[in-house]
């Protein structure tokens, strides 16, 4: 299978910068330092910010129940079978819990390692295509893409999909172009890669890599080598690897599995806007990419060109963008599936500039610096409220980091050494990530879910309590309490839904008077400030985003008439 590791393009030009090595030692040292800094950013302080409400809690909580019950087949979440996603993400996180214990760090560690493995795969692939410098640049672009970094922390399944999708694209492209090698071995490799991608996120793990590689073949006008033989073996291997899970789920749940997993979550979720609050237009992802992959996105237009040997990265980007744009369901995190392609395209463009094959992209870097410089007056405009919440020092640090990125982009515009310039911009982006991490850590003080979850777990050690979220979506409390929480729209909806004598509610403090309608006793245990949203949401608001939440205990004693009013803590009135 030498096709996987065969350099297919010359990366050295006669009039350009020499290939990375001893003759470019400063660039090589700076690039290695940038990559080391990137590893630090992905691994360090994973537990500094609480589990986020939404997707992160959705992936972090079910593995806890798997460990407790010993049932690794059907995930459970919010007191119900969770059939939205395949099980690979849950299995990997459960393995982390088994090895290192249940914590925020271990919940995020598998996805962080998957992101680093994706960067390694991208770097090796690009390095095999064009040489060491291209590989280093491509890996740096991916690691220091802001959205890739932040989505990795909070969207575990998409991090695993990015890795498995990358491996599938590399394998399929190599198998389709390699004249040598066993057809069976190529088929097994491709089938296994597709199976992993499917088990990470479903049918999209098959459709995207196959479509991406096919688009690359079409751009090159290349007919794949022995595609029927290798494709047949790949298909058989794929089915053999994913069949046991399907059989187990079908035996356990029957028609419910096929309807919920395939019809509702694989087809309706993608083809309709059923799961979206509002629809987004056909070109919605263009501004998303411009912001999510900044500043590298400014180099992307000039990177969209066919390659001499394989246009797989270009086919991957174009097919992925068109595919997601045509889908009814549009979410920013779906761009995780094309960030590796963007990294290869931009990294190889910078390598071509260094080797003299392309003119240096001065205009792109100057535009990137100019646009990012606009963030400074915007930060100054919204700094008042943000400073109140996270401290003036954190805001100043962010402003200095933004200025550093602007300066690095301007230096890159004038520098003939692409590896040095790329590493400098990457390190500046990393400093910006550090500033944002500091702000997120300061905002974590406004999240009471870790403390409340621990309290519920202590006071309900036998899991014989009912837990409800009343008009709030703070589902991260399920991870910390390790108890199932159900949602209700009004406290009155609790009537008839309680199963135990004791229960807990999380609700807005302003809605506490509605508890008087309940035919049961209640006690407000704690009231704490809470912010719904991230630092961007906070910075854009003119008014304070801080609300007050209450943790309430309810009691339904059998044979005892309900109290007409509740009991408040420390003399407070309910």
Instruction: Examine the fold and report which residue of 302, 331, 360 is the final residue of a domain before the chain moves on.
Output: 360
One domain for residues 350 and 452? no
DSSP 503-559: EEEEEEGGGGGGGGGSSSEEEEEEEEEEE-S-HHHHHH-SS--EEEEEEEEEE--TT
The number of domains in the chain is 2
Q: Could you give the CA distance from residue 574 to residue 568 in angstroms, rounded to a whole number? A: 5
571: left (phi over 0), alpha (psi -120 to 50) or beta: left
One domain for residues 354 and 496? no
Residue 461 or 111, more confident = 111
pLDDT of residue 12: 46
Residue 490 or 169, more confident = 169
Q: How many CB atoms lie within 10 A of CB 390?
A: 23
Low-confidence winner among 23-27, 94-98, 362-366, 537-541 (lowest mean pLDDT): 537-541
Instruction: Examine the fold and report which residue of 360, 387, 405 is the final residue of a domain before the chain moves on.
Output: 360
Exposure string over 45-69, b if 16+ CB within 10 A, otherwise e? ebeebbbbbebbbbbbbbbbbbbee
One domain for residues 348 and 460? no
One domain for residues 100 and 236? yes
Q: For residue 290, give its domain range.
A: 2-360
Instruction: Write down the pTM of the prediction.
Output: 0.91
Please tell me whether the peptide bond between 26 and the residue prior to it is cis, using omega within 30 degrees of 0: no
Domain membership flag for residue 158: yes
Q: Which helix (H) or strand (E) holds 76?
A: strand 76-77
* Averaged pLDDT for residues 498-512: 93
pLDDT of residue 448: 96
One domain for residues 173 and 78? yes
Render pLDDT for 344-366 as a digit per residue (tens, 0 to 9).
999 999 999 988 888 888 999 99
One domain for residues 339 and 452? no
Domain membership flag for residue 408: no
* Averaged pLDDT for residues 76-95: 94
Render pLDDT for 310-345 as a digit per residue (tens, 0 to 9).
999 999 999 999 999 999 888 899 999 999 999 999
Domain membership flag for residue 389: no
Q: Which of 366, 342, 376 is CA-nearest to residue 421?
A: 366
Residue 536 has pLDDT above 70, yes or no: no
Most confident range (mean pLDDT) of 314-318, 543-547, 560-564 is 314-318
One domain for residues 144 and 291? yes
Average predicted confidence (pLDDT) for the chain:
89
Residue 101 has pLDDT above 80, yes or no: yes
Angle between helices 285-292 and 146-154 (to 10 degrees): 100
Alpha helix stretches (DSSP H) within 80-155: 88-100, 104-130, 132-143, 146-154
Q: Could you give the CA distance from residue 203 to residue 192 in angstroms, rounded to a whole number? A: 14
Low-confidence winner among 15-19, 289-293, 400-404, 438-442 (lowest mean pLDDT): 15-19
Which two structure tokens, joined as six digits, stand for 199? 């088990």
Q: How far apart are the first and last CA of the chain?
A: 71
* Averaged pLDDT for residues 502-530: 93
Residue 507 has pLDDT above 60, yes or no: yes
Domain membership flag for residue 414: no
Domain membership flag for residue 6: yes
Domain membership flag for residue 423: no
Residue 195 or 464, more confident = 195
pLDDT of residue 564: 41
Q: Are 96 and 274 in contact (CB under 8 A)?
A: no
Instruction: Examine the fold and report which residue of 328, 360, 392 is the final residue of a domain before the chain moves on.
Output: 360
Domain membership flag for residue 435: no
Strand partners, 469: 487, 506
Q: What is the DSSP letter of 133?
A: H
Domain membership flag for residue 215: yes
Q: Are 433 and 49 in contact (CB under 8 A)?
A: no
One domain for residues 356 and 480? no
208: left (phi over 0), alpha (psi -120 to 50) or beta: alpha
Q: For the chain, how are helix, strand and coil distributed in percent, rounded to 5?
A: 65, 5, 30
One domain for residues 79 and 197? yes
Strand partners, 487: 469
């Amino acid at each position: 299978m030498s096709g996987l590791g065969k350099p297919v393009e010359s990366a050295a030009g006669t009039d350009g910068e020499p290939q990375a090595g001893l003759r470019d030692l400063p660039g090589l040292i700076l690039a290695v330092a940038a990559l080391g800094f990137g590893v630090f950013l992905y691994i360090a302080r994973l537990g500094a910010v609480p589990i986020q409400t939404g997707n992160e809690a959705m992936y972090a909580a079910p593995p806890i129940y798997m460990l407790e019950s010993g049932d690794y087949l059907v995930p459970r979440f919010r007191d119900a079978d969770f059939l939205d996603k395949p099980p690979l993400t849950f299995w990997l996180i459960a393995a982390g819990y088994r090895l290192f214990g249940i914590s925020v760090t271990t919940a995020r560690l598998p996805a962080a390692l998957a992101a680093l493995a994706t960067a390694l795969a991208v770097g090796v692939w690009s390095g095999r295509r064009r040489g060491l410098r291209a590989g280093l640049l491509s890996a740096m672009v991916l690691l220091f893409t802001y959205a890739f970094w932040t989505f990795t922390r909070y969207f575990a399944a998409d991090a695993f999909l990015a890795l498995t999708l990358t491996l599938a694209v590399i394998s399929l492209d190599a198998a389709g172009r390699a004249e040598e090698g066993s057809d069976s071995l190529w088929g097994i490799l491709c089938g296994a890669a597709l199976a992993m991608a499917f088990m990470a996120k479903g049918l999209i793990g098959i459709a995207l890599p196959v479509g991406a590689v096919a688009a690359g073949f079409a751009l090159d006008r290349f007919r794949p080598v022995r595609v029927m033989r290798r494709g047949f073996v790949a298909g058989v291997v794929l089915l053999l690897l994913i069949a046991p899970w399907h059989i187990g789920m079908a035996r356990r749940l029957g028609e419910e599995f096929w309807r919920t997993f395939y019809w509702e979550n694989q087809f309706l979720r993608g083809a309709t806007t059923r799961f979206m609050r509002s629809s987004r237009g056909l070109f919605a992802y263009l501004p998303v990419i411009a912001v999510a992959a900044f500043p590298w996105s400014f180099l992307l237009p000039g990177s969209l060109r066919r390659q001499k040997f394989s246009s797989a990265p270009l086919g991957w980007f174009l097919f992925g963008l068109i595919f997601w744009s045509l889908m009814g369901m549009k979410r920013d995190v779906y761009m995780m599936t094309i960030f590796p392609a963007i990294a290869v395209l931009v990294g190889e463009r910078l390598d071509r500039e260094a080797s003299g094959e392309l003119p240096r992209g001065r205009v792109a870097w100057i535009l990137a610096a100019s646009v990012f410089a606009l963030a400074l007056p915007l930060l100054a405009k919204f700094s008042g409220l943000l400073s109140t919440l996270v401290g003036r020092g954190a805001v100043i640090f962010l402003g200095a980091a933004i200025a550093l990125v602007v300066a690095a982009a301007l230096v890159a515009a004038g520098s003939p050494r692409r590896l040095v310039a790329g590493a400098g911009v990457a390190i500046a982006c990393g400093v910006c990530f550090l500033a944002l991490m500091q702000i997120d850590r300061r905002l974590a003080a406004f999240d009471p879910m870790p403390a409340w979850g621990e309290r519920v777990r202590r006071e309900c050690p036998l899991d014989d309590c009912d837990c409800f979220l009343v008009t709030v979506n703070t589902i991260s409390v399920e991870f910390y309490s390790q108890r199932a929480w159900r949602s209700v729209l009004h406290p009155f909806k609790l009537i008839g839904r309680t199963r135990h004598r004791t229960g807990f509610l999380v609700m807005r403090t302003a809605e506490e008077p509605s508890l008087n309608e309940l035919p049961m006793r209640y006690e407000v245990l704690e009231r704490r400030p809470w912010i719904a949203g991230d630092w961007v949401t906070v910075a854009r608001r003119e008014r304070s985003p801080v609300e007050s939440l209450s943790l309430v205990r309810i009691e339904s004693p059998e044979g005892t008439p309900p109290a007409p009013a509740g009991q408040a803590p420390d003399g407070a009135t309910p």
